[in-house]
């Protein structure tokens, strides 16, 4: 059994028992979280594809922790002008443990 969900503008393939890292959510650590924007659902013989979402399926999980991702360094360079720029960024992430996929 698995589902494809969308959160933070990105898509994730999840199964019960998985741990995923998504963009920062407002929920505190330990709180339950529910994703109702399910794009695809498969349970062996039962396959549902949304247009754009599957209305009767939701993914339930809990927030494990909030943290910062790895640093991404962006460098700009233009030749023969002495132009160099270096900038770093660390994205705020939320680690979510997927508990179950509820399909009705």
Residues 28-74: pLDDT tens digits? 999 999 999 999 999 989 999 999 999 999 999 999 999 999 999 99
pTM: 0.85
pLDDT at residue 104 is higher than 90: no
**Would you call 17 exposed, middle or buried from its count of C-beta atoms within 10 A (0-12, 13-18, 19+)?**
exposed
Q: What is the mean pLDDT of the chain?
A: 96
Peptide bond into 52 cis (omega under 30): yes
Cα dihedral 62, 69, 12, 5 sign:
positive
Please give the C-alpha separations between residue 59 and each of 37, 53, 84, 85, in angstroms, as whole numbers.
9, 13, 45, 42
Give which of 9, 104, 4, 6 is closest to 55, Cα–Cα. 104
Whole-angstrom Cα distance, residue 41 to residue 102? 10
What pLDDT does residue 77 have? 98
């Amino acid at each position: 059994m698995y589902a494809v969900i969308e959160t933070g503008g990105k898509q994730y393939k999840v199964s019960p028992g998985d741990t995923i890292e998504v963009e920062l959510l407002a929920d505190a650590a330990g709180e339950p979280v529910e994703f109702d924007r399910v794009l695809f659902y498969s349970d062996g013989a039962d396959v549902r594809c949304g247009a754009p979402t599957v209305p009767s399926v939701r993914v339930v999980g809990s927030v494990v922790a909030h943290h910062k991702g790895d640093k991404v360094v962006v460098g700009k360079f233009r030749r023969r002008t002495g132009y160099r720029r270096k900038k770093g960024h660390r994205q705020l992430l939320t680690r979510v443990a997927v508990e179950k996929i509820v399909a009705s």
